[in-house]
Amino acid sequence: MRISRALFADVSVLLDYYSRFNPSPLSIKKFLDFGQKGCERQSYAFLRKELPVRLANIMKEFSLLPAPLLHMPSVMTVQNWYLRSFEEILTFEKIRIDDKKTLENFCETLIKIRNRHSNVVQTMARGVIELKDTETIHAQTEHSIQYFLHRFYLNRISIRMLINQHAALFGADLPGHPRHIGTIDPNCDVTSVVQDAYDNAKFLCDQYYMRSPELIVETFNVDKSGGPISIVYVPSHLYHMAFELLKNAMRAVVEQHSDSDEFPPIKLLLVKGREDLSIKISDMGGGISRSLTENLFHYMYSTAPKPQTDSQTAPLAGYGYGLPLSRLYARYLQGDLMVASVEGYGTDAIIYLKVLSNEANEVLPVFNKTSSKHYRTHVGSHDYSTGGTTVNQFSQPFPISTFPVRSAGS
């Protein structure tokens, strides 16, 4: 459904207003403390103000996208979804919390918005494909698209976190485990989540290749407390990252050693330090050349062939969103995801997560003059000579500061 010009004009005024406010980042500890002591009225009062701010900040960046991309049908669909959701949240802006019905309606609206946005990642990806199928993408356009998608999907993770937490605490959503506080596990057994991710990745690998490599897990805890390594975290986020990395490692090993009777195992090292929990996944899948490594975290880039759209089974790889989205899940709460490869041998992928819940703060994109400049900055400035090509040696398109199986983000 297209939004009329008059209606869009009214919404634009409200978007301008709410985009002037910065989002309010929360830490895992704040999420946890509120889940234990807060009430539904407090959550309602916070979300009816915070969600419009987060929505408006990212929606203002739509207008900075290259015009050809904005006119792609799929991108227009996503933009309309966001405008409709923004309007629906604002209907509660001045409603007093005088009865339980208001709280119920608010929770139902949040769930409706979550369901409406369930296919945002795929739909936005389709919009980029539509653009690339119709015209040549220049370096500046590519830079703007990558920068926007990075911020857009990070914003989406944060909004889904707020909605899922409210729905799990006060709505009909059932927690994944009785000890969970909303979507957060105060004692998230990291080994158990990783093993679950491996089992499901192995199932996919067995479907495609009829066999799969084994997983060897080694753990080390600096406090030597014994027992399983655990942190306060969102299990579905951890699962998403581990599943993607294990899936990639399995595909690389099987294809690299396709003529062998046995596969070298994938090794997983899990270390809980004073500040960071580190998960290193090592494979002997042949590695990746340095010329390709820089592209691994670009949306729409994949070393696997594109999956067939009419396939009856879930693809093991090929869409080019797995790694960049996984890194966003890590960076969303001040962690990170890094890949180091030795061409001809194998690859190490490391997930870093904050051990202390009060340091695991949300990283949220903010619409301001600084972010706007990224859409206008000319990329590829030539300040180094390499004997035939002049390049910008230290370009960094994704600064950290600007930053199925189980459903990620649920």
Let me know if 257 is a catalytic residue.
no
Q: Is 397 buried (19+), middle (13-18) or exposed (0-12) by CB count in 10 A?
A: middle
Catalytic residue from among 240, 272, 298, 354: 240
Let me know if 164 is a catalytic residue.
no
Record the tokens describing residue 397, joined without a space: 């398109």
Catalytic residue from among 143, 150, 180, 247: 247
Catalytic residue from among 50, 61, 142, 244: 244
Let me know if 362 is a catalytic residue.
no
Let me know if 248 is a catalytic residue.
yes
The neighbour count for residue 382, using CB atoms within 10 Å, is: 10
Catalytic residue from among 200, 248, 354, 362: 248
Residues with active-site annotation: 240, 244, 247-248
